Amino acid sequence: MIAESTSRDLCPQVVGTTDDGEILRDAIPLKGASLSAYLKAMTSLLVGEGDRRRARVELPRGKTTDEDEEAAVVALDEYQRRFTS
């Protein structure tokens, strides 16, 4: 809901209509109360590093190398060598 609401607030919104009935849209600046609510919600979702530290939540670091990806690269290199030689 937070992402959807933020997206709607940041997209051009209806600001009026012309005499012909055409809808006019324009970007409207984000209201301070909306920004405050979004920031509070993001804090409660532990989005920021500081928020996670205050809650004593540690995110595990992933492996920097992916063995499957390395094996795929080696297999593609061998495949390419067979057809280029």
The domain in which residue 43 lies consists of 2-84
Tokens 């709607």 locate to 8
Number of domains in the chain: 1
Q: How far apart are CA 44 and CA 24, in angstroms?
A: 36
pTM, two decimal places: 0.57
pLDDT in tens, the chain (85 residues): 999 999 999 999 999 999 999 999 999 999 999 999 999 999 999 998 888 888 888 877 776 666 778 888 888 888 888 887 6
The answer to whether the beta carbons of residues 26 and 15 sit under 8 Å apart is: yes
